[in-house]
Amino acid sequence: MTLPPAPDRGSIQTSAILLIVLGFLCGGWIPTIFGIIALVQMETDPRSARTMNKVGWIVFCVIVGLVILGILAYFVFGIAILGIFGIAASTG
């Protein structure tokens, strides 16, 4: 059984740095930590660093999705509540 080739260190480094910056800017500390771990492990264990990058990006996407879902829910429920109270205020 042959092992797959070692991942490209340049792409690991670029992905980890982007993960750190975007994670920090978007308030996601967990993706930032995964990016830092990936940078630290890049020289000694590139496969593990690649895994940390993947997990970090998955966590980042989940956080962004939850934020978008929260914003949409805020507006939908806000409009619904204003509609309910607006109708109640106009009838009574």
Residue type, 45: D
Count up the domains in the chain and report the number. 1
Min mean pLDDT across 18-22, 29-33, 66-70, 81-85 is at 81-85
Per-residue CA distances from 91 to 69, 77, 78, 80, 82 (Å):
33, 21, 20, 17, 14
Residue 2 included in any domain: no
Q: Is a pLDDT exceeding 70 seen at residue 89?
A: no
Does 39 reside within a domain? yes
Question: Is residue 1 one of the residues assigned to a domain?
Answer: no
CB 42 within 8 A of CB 8: no
Domain annotation covers residue 37? yes
pTM: 0.77
Domain with 64, as residue range(s), is 9-91
Residue 44 lies in a domain: yes
In a domain, residue 3? The reply is no
Residue 2 backbone zone (phi > 0: left; psi -120 to 50: alpha; other: beta): beta
pLDDT in tens, 33-77: 999 999 999 989 999 999 999 999 999 999 999 999 999 998 888
pLDDT value at 7 more than 90: no
Is residue 13 in a domain?
yes
Residues 72-92, mean pLDDT to the nearest whole number: 74
Q: What are φ and ψ of residue 36, in 5° steps?
A: -65, -45
